[in-house]
Amino acid sequence: MLRVAVAGASGYIGGELLRLLLGHPEVEVAAATSTRYAGRRVDTAHPNLRGTTDLTFIAPGDLGAYDVLFLATPHRETMDRMGEFLAMAPHVIDLTGDFRLRDQDTYAAYYGVRHSAPELLGTFTTGLPELYREDLREADRVSVPGCMATAAILALYPLADAGLLEGEVTVDARTGSSGSGISAGAANLHAERSGAMRVFAPTRHRHEAEITQATGVPVRMNATGVEAVRGVQILARVRLAGDTGERTVRAAYRERYGHEPFVRVVAQRRGLYRLPEPKILSGSNFCDVGFAVAEDAPQALVVGALDNLVKGGAGNAVQSMNIRYGWPEQTGLGFTGLHPN
């Protein structure tokens, strides 16, 4: 059994890591840190884990040495402490935003601050198995991409990679409230957030840079908070190269994802769930991707959906770990999602 630890384990991403790792047959959760909950039971913060674990949070300063260290610590603080974290475990999987972009100028442009450990930026492999599986087999440092970025990258990649896209892509992202985290403030009060359609990033959402970095496609992205706790959906409008039709598009998706365990191509002509819908993905590690090609113009609407805390975070991290150790990729990630939900 590998000994793993989660730093920043009392937040939503940390809790999801614990849920997945506690159910993973190949690892033992040796430690979970929380500044606020140190000394208290893990199920105080994560009531879904009652009966599953007797683990107690430790203070961040009490971390020791582990085989794998997962980081769900606050943004910015993580880059400051990365040297420290790297000394604790040979294998570090970072779920924060700090090491997602490889270029420090792009980081500064999107995050508004200078990166405090720019020399490490290029040393992380992106924790997105569908694009970087081979690299992940030997990667000791992994940076898991953002939740909306993951949905957009997986939805766009087959077309981008096949050279079927032209010009700038616009991405419209919708997200549930758990993406704001457990320390969200008054803006996420139920009375204000319930039933909302809150355009919180009308231009220049940070995930733009990640999508472009992974797909090579120039992107414009906006984001809206809608009524959901979990779930991200992205809609991307793309221009198709030449006379690309639906058949070519479908073939590109099938070819790319036909053997992927966690990407499903959903583009049906009828039914209630004919395009990707996050509602049925809660708790699962699936990213559903789909498309609709315009009949009268070389354009398509591309759709991606996932659970932001699983395939958009903790699930990608665990899948990356599974790859690194040669375990079946689905290990610990077998939950299918619920319908209805």
Residues 35-74 that bind a copy of itself (CB under 8 A): 44, 46-52
- Strand spans (E) along 19-150: 27-32, 68-71, 91-94, 125-126, 141-143
184 binds a copy of itself (CB under 8 A): yes
Residues binding a copy of itself: what is the number (CB under 8 A)? 87
Q: What is the CB-side half-sphere exposure of residue 62 using CA atoms within 13 A? A: 12
The one catalytic residue in 9, 21, 128, 147 is 147
Question: Tokens 């457990």 appear where?
Answer: 182
Question: Tokens 């087959």 appear where?
Answer: 158
DSSP state of 163: T
Span of 94-102, 123-131, 277-285, 319-327 interacting with a copy of itself by CB under 8 A:
277-285
From the CB of 204, what's the least distance to a copy of itself, in Å? 7
116 binds a copy of itself (CB under 8 A): no
237 binds a copy of itself (CB under 8 A): yes
29 binds a copy of itself (CB under 8 A): no
- Strand spans (E) along 216-298: 219-226, 232-240, 263-265, 287-293
137 binds a copy of itself (CB under 8 A): no
Active-site residue flag, 147: yes
19 binds a copy of itself (CB under 8 A): yes
User: Do 37 and 62 meet the contact criterion of CB atoms below 8 Å apart?
Assistant: no
Question: Tokens 């991307």 appear where?
Answer: 236
Span of 95-103, 144-152, 208-216, 264-272 interacting with a copy of itself by CB under 8 A:
264-272
Q: Which of 304, 297, 310 is nearest to 263 (CA)?
A: 304
Which C-beta is closer to a copy of itself: that of 16 or that of 94? 16
Q: Which of 244, 236, 239 is nearest to 276 (CA)?
A: 236
User: Do 4 and 93 meet the contact criterion of CB atoms below 8 Å apart?
Assistant: no
Span of 55-63, 125-133, 157-165, 297-305 interacting with a copy of itself by CB under 8 A:
297-305
Candidate list 106, 177, 316, 322; residue touching a copy of itself; CB under 8 A: 177
336 binds a copy of itself (CB under 8 A): yes
If DSSP codes are grouped into helix, strand and coil, which group holds residue 222? Answer: strand
From the CB of 334, what's the least distance to a copy of itself, in Å? 7
Active site residues: 147
